[in-house]
Chain A
Amino acid sequence: QTVVTQEPSFSVSPGGTVTLTCGLTSGSVSTTYYPSWFQQTPGQAPRTLIYSTNIRSSGVPDRFSGSILGNKAALTITGAQADDESDYYCMLYMGSGIEVFGTGTKVTVL
């Protein structure tokens, strides 16, 4: 069974840049997986950041950007702010109407 993998954690300084990735245990992620990215702070529902690889959801600041880097989907936060400290999840469309979330990355801003 293919698992969608993410780094467990990342630390970034305020104003810094961090790139999170979303890969597969078997195979490469491409635009045909329509990668999405979601942000979740403790006790809150997830919030959609990015869909279809690189399209920002309504109201999402442009410091969040999505891309494909090598064989993975990527979320880059440029100019990190304190309130970016959250858990981040990717989600991939696997075909046949089924989607799968990644394992999640905890981002700390300090």
Chain B
Amino acid sequence: EVQLVQSGAEVKKPGESLEISCKGSGYTFTDYWIGWVRQMPGKGLEWMGIIYPGDSDATYSPSFQGQVTISVDKSISTAYLQWSSLKASDTAMYYCARGYDSSGFLLTSDTFDMWGQGTMVTVSS
């Protein structure tokens, strides 16, 4: 079965660091991108960034550049989203999603075709 499985919910204090994960299975992990999407409570979806496991090349939304780090360990088919110093405003559900190049020539992801179940991150003192 093709799936993305995310790590469990986290409760952290402001200033702490955090890494959440997204493990792909049932497909060739290095053939697709992995993107991260934020959804703050009661709000819409926000595209944070994307990484290509084949070469670990990551692209970030300007809104999230410098705020988070996206990485990957292709040996275990897992992508990560990291914070070095959490803020209360980082409280949100975070989804990973599999991206692919539907155009066939963009050489980057232009859509998401499947999603992880989400990881809830709560940051509170």
User: Which A positions have Cβ atoms within 8 angstroms of B?
Assistant: 34, 36, 38, 40, 45-48, 51-52, 55, 57, 87, 89, 91, 93, 96-104
- A34 near B110: Cβ-Cβ < 8 Å: yes
User: Does B102 count as interface, using CB distance less than 8 angstroms?
Assistant: yes
**Nearest neighbor of B46 in chain A, beta-carbon distance:** A101
Binds A, one of B8-16, B68-76, B80-88, B112-120: B112-120
Chain B residues with CB under 8 Å of A101's CB are 37, 44-47
CA A38 to CA B106, docked complex, whole Å:
21
When chains A and B are docked, how far (Å) is the Cα of A97 from the Cα of B59?
6
Contact (Cβ within 8 A) B59 A98: yes
> Across the interface, do A99 and B102 meet the contact criterion of CB distance under 8 Å?
no
Given contacts A91-B47, A101-B45, A103-B44, contact A45 B118 (CB under 8 A): yes
- Residues on the A chain within 8 Å of B61, using CB: 98, 100
Known: A52-B103, A89-B45. A99 touches B115 (CB 8 A): no
B109 CB-CB contact with A under 8 Å: yes
A-chain residues with CB within 8 Å of residue B97 when the two chains form the complex: 46
Q: Is B34 an interface residue (CB 8 A)?
A: no
Q: Which residues of A contact B44 (CB under 8 A)?
A: 87, 89, 101-104
Of all chain A residues, the one with the shortest Cβ separation from B58 is A97
Additional 15 contacts, C-beta under 8 A, given A52-B111, A101-B37, A101-B47: A45-B116, A45-B118, A46-B97, A46-B112, A47-B115, A48-B112, A52-B103, A57-B113, A89-B45, A91-B45, A91-B111, A99-B50, A99-B110, A100-B61, A104-B45
If over half of A's interface residues share one DSSP class (helix, strand or loop), that class is named, otherwise mixed; here it is strand
20 CB contacts below 8 A, A to B, read: A34-B103, A34-B111, A40-B45, A45-B115, A46-B97, A46-B112, A47-B115, A48-B113, A48-B115, A52-B102, A52-B103, A55-B102, A89-B44, A93-B111, A99-B47, A99-B50, A99-B109, A100-B47, A101-B44, A101-B45
**Those of B25-42 within 8 Å (CB) of chain A:** 35, 37
| B108, CB-defined interface residue at 8 Å | yes
